[in-house]
Structure 1
């Protein structure tokens, strides 16, 4: 989607310069363009096209399940009149909603592309675990440090009686 051109309105209005400046510099949800890629089972990548921004002009923060990318670029003001502005200049703020247990692993800025690598790390208690199934006798087994111990039925009855 293209941004709205206000040039024809500049010719027919007087005193609305500030309003048009606000409209031209407002937040554009389609800019900067970005891709979201799935790199593996638990790995993702966000690639944003932010040509003209230096690493010190981009701020990347994660607040819980929200990843916020803010770019602050103040273009140089010069005496040149720009007839069409197709290059992204100015500031931007883009927020991404992340799934549970997803965190930023790495971020880099190369050739005008901000690359954000994400990884999902499940806590140990949420990972699937294999449970051994016993057969034959109904004597419970307790596994401790790789050793199998059998509890006698008498001991088990004593515990149930208590």
Structure 2
């Protein structure tokens, strides 16, 4: 597989370190990655999301959810069974797992729920007022705008 060198991106941009790191991680193949547990990412409403993982057999005490540096980490580990069981066929996964999800800026976790073997993590994007678009009214004459600008600069 061909690799892409992202070092020029690091040299010629400021403040995009996280994006470059995400691209780099996405392009790097992880041979140990498995599809366990399966999950869905759902758009509930504008700026509201849910991640649902199929964690059949796990209890709340077996699961851990953490957020650090824009990465949501969901992990599960079953305690060791005291008794040895003999299986004729073992098709139900009962192994430890860890799933990581990279979160965009301003994404917050609203909560988590475990029901019928599905763990759902709620997320919402809260955009700060300073970053929301602002409507500028048109009405002042150019002369008034210039007078206001020079008055404020003198203060």
Alignment correspondent of 2:97: 92
Which stretches of structure 1, 4 residues or longer, exceed 4 Å deviation after superposition? 153-161
Structure number having the greater helix percentage:
2
Task: Decide which structure has the larger Cα Rg and report it.
Answer: 1
Please say if 1:74 is aligned against 2:79.
yes
The number of equivalent residue pairs is 124
Normalising by structure 1, we get a TM-score of 0.65
1:29–1:139 CA distance, 2 compared to 1 (3 A):
same
User: RMSD in angstroms over aligned alpha carbons?
Assistant: 2.9
Q: What does residue range 34-113 of structure 1 map to in structure 2 within 5 Å?
A: 34-74=39-79, 76=81, 78-113=83-118
Measured in 2, the distance between the counterparts of 1:50 and 1:158 equals 64
- Provide the residue aligned with 1:33 in structure 2: 38
1:117 Cα offset (Å): 0.7
Structure 1: 5+ residue stretches without partners: 1-26, 141-152
Q: Which runs of 5+ in 2 are unaligned?
A: 1-31
Instruction: Give the structure-2-normalised TM-score.
Output: 0.68
